[in-house]
Structure 1
Amino acid sequence: MTEKETPRVAIVTGGAGGLGFPIAARLAAKGHKVALWDINRESVEEAAAKLPGAKGYVVDVTDAAAVDAAMKEVVADMGPLGILVTGAGHNGPVESFAKYPLDGWRFVMSLNLDAVFICCQAAVREMLKTGYGRIVNIASIAGKEGNPNAVAYSASKGGVIALTKSVGKELATTEIRVNCVTPAAIETEMMNQLTPEFRAYVTAKIPVGRLGQADEVAALVSWLASEECSFSTGAVFDVSGGRATY
């Protein structure tokens, strides 16, 4: 931990998953008390047991009442909230636009965008009580470029980028910083949701010539969640192996 950084209470949604757990591990290693939120009880309890001072919570992040209840529980258990990382998400169907299922669209939007709004709002309400906070939303390079055959995923992540910019600007005169990261394809179990053809497509678009590693994303998120990230807000940070063009 840097000399100026102090231990905080951190919530990581999707904390038992492929990006969420490495991020949670980074934060725990820096001395933060980490609350892992996930929909799967067994997975989240197993993940939390691996980290010092961490605790797992079963939370449906698409349910505003469940999020509010879990937020109160975390604050009661651990103390005032300092950090939120929204890592829960899903690729959704890989299908041509003409055939893309409406229920798939609604599922992806609910988890990838609605849940980010719900969790960020609950977090901001807590952070305003202390006047300090760091929020890091996990978006995607697909939110900038749009991936074919992944309209809901692309649109939802574009929404996360816009949400981040809006909230970051609104809170800019406070000590609450709101940023997002836009990874290209990262080697996690989420990649198993993709067909081999789609996996090859997204890998071919990365100039570095390989998929990213979860720890590479976690390293960036860790800085964005720190006190050192003091002048960046409402911003988008690429971790794309050179894929991003803006």
Structure 2
Amino acid sequence: MVISLSSFLFLNLHQKEFLNQTNIILTILFLLCSLLILLFFNYKWIPVIFFGIVGLEVSINLIASLDNISYQKNFDYTNFTKNISESTAYLHKYDSGLYRTEKTFTRSDDDPLSNDYYGISNFNSISDRSTINLIDYLGLENNDNSFTNNFATPLSDSILGIKYNIVPIKNRRKLPAEQQIVFTSAFYRPDLIRNKVVKSFKQVQIRKNSSALPLIFISPSHKKINFYTSMPSANQNTLFNSIVGKKLIFLIAYI
């Protein structure tokens, strides 16, 4: 049986990523140990040897399994967290009001939670469907249990009360690779160029959106709004018109 299994594993070595030579040799050794335990089953030290082999097998299996998982480099996480937390900490002192902050880049869907700021981006396995529907109607990136502020516009930022945006600085690329912020995604926002720069750091800067609405306000209109699928520009205009009680048209360009 051991010979047959060994032959099968070697013949199929190229078909499975986890079937490398080291794992196959270890498998054969543990099979041989199991066979020896069966042959010397009545030996008084067999229980101790058995549990020792089981413990060794579990440990080796754990190490081999974890080695096959790709991890983010530690400095990728620490650089991102350090730089974003530095900027949000400054914002808390600069403006102690109630507002939203967002970024034009992301590392995860829960960046606001991990970096201490109120943002749009969120991951929740039990996200409210009506919230996701609104995000979708406004044209922001979303799926069944998360959403981000990617594909935002000046109008959507203002409606959602995003008062500050954190954007990357090009000069950050001059830093050593192990010091640079690494993104999982980035969304270029040329409309933010005109926004006032509140503070610049080594790799990011904070820009202020002066047209952001407060998170709580009184609207003169209370009409029911009808949104349309795959028409974010129209939906944003409809929502804004309902908020201000006037019919205004904003031209929104997606880049």
Using structure 1 for the length normalisation, give the TM-score. 0.22
Report which structure shows greater RCO (CA 8 Å, sep ≥6).
Answer: 1
In our comparison, the structure showing a higher alpha carbon Rg is 2
Using structure 2 for the length normalisation, give the TM-score. 0.22
